[in-house]
Amino acid sequence: MSDLLSTLYPWMKAFHVMAVMSWMAGLFYLPRLYVYHAERGSGPGEPGESLAVMEAKLLHLIMGPASVATWVAGLILVMTPGIVDWSMIWPWTKAAGVIAMTLFHHWLMIQRRRIASGKGLSGRHYRMMNEVPTLLMVVIVLSVIVKF
């Protein structure tokens, strides 16, 4: 099993990075759609109806599967012998970053339902929350590349 994981390591890392890119694309773009929705689409009709379809499709067809693929490949990398040294700091900052990123994903899911029922937050609020994935990405990428 250990030998198989070591052989698969570069492939698994490539798959992980591809899944990360797809997930992050949605995490960056969905709060932007919420800003437009809050500021220009809160009433009945257009553009609110089209925005609601775009938000649901982005979450369910792209971000959901990409987040699962990121987690599965990431956990396989964690189990690969010699990859994670838990006595260093970086695995802990990376873990904190990915847990926070996953919580942010769930917050976006809750907000989609709230916007659909007319209880969404202001455009300014979503614009501020739009910075969260950027900050978490900085922590995660520095952890896994610099490996302090």
- Applying CB under 6 A, which residues contact ligand HEM? 13, 16-17, 20, 24, 70-71, 74-75, 77-78, 83-84, 98, 101, 137, 140-141, 144-145
- Residue the block writes with tokens 């490949």: 73
Residue 83 or 129: which CB sits closer to ligand HEM? Answer: 83
Q: 27 with 55: CB under 8 angstroms? A: no
Select the residue whose beta carbon is closest to ligand HEM and give its number: 74
Q: How far is the CB of 54 from ligand HEM (least distance, A)?
A: 23
- Residue the block writes with tokens 């970053």: 97
- 17: number of Cβ within 10 Å: 11
Known binding residues for heme are 16, 94
Residue 12 or 33: which CB sits closer to ligand HEM? Answer: 12
Q: How far is the CB of 75 from ligand HEM (least distance, A)?
A: 5
Residue 100 or 116: which CB sits closer to ligand HEM? Answer: 100
Alpha carbons 61 and 143: distance in angstroms, whole number: 29
Nearest to 51 by CA among 104, 115, 107: 115
